Structure 1
């Protein structure tokens, strides 16, 4: 691919990300909960506790999503395959949007967006980060370096393998939040995430088979 073509594609993706962020901000204005009162009632709305599944999930999944977006951007520069690039765009579009919503809720609840506590403590099994992998399913720094160095089919297969593992752990985390969260916002978002990521796992299994790799 020529340098001018790569520059043109980079501009298109940059424009897409700006659009995603703008949509996310609009969604935050529409759907994020009020910490002061419930609509039309004047009744104070309970803010989730720092130790709640709501806060823990919003914080941890924001980090999890950020890496998925990073991997999607990496692979779009390592392959010309339109199916893989379309999947990467869908991941950027969806997960950047959801991340913006979760960070917006944390701000509304006046909860910090980061914590010194171990990741996933809210699920009852705290995780010790290793080689840049902060939570189950997250790629290590070594794996990300391999993805950055790969090209063509090798990049496609490695991306699909890493993202499948990433999605499986993400779906498990989302289902746990859907079951344990106290706010309707987190329960609804988490349940939708679990369904969507399971669907993409099936899609990626088919894409791996089409490239002669095992799901």
Structure 2
């Protein structure tokens, strides 16, 4: 499949298996206590050990310090770190150098002015995750099921590979691909039956919709 998909916020072995079986290229584990998708390091380690070879294991963190990241990479077998907070470009470069893992930086988009961050962070990150900016006062920096105006990133070319996120579902993913030209997609709430509860049927439906697109 030409388009690579990341299913994020996985908490159960059967949902990791469903994502891999449906053709996901990445699986994501969330380490943020306020999120309904938060998992412990020990739980994530057990889940990661069952991920099939060839599927990338990604850890989502939010403004994490070195102490937590040290413990994370020592405990969980990972392929990539995703920084989903207010980390500066300098911090992204620091994390990348310290751990020797590819780093994906999330960028929140709500208006044209936000797009400039993509070039800024694209110079220091291995990948970018272009997401809907969280509403003011929101408890979560992502995973809110919100999309943004896809015209803001329509057929743009950035200095690093990028992934489209924010409110993607089986029903709108074909339109998202058409409007943005994205070759990588990230979703979490769009394949859930309740906050933090993945639905294997929705995972399969999403992947089928991507293949059809």
TM-score (norm 1): 0.23
Counting helix residues as a fraction of each chain, which structure ranks higher?
A: 1
Higher strand share: 2
TM-score of the superposed pair, with normalisation by structure 2: 0.23
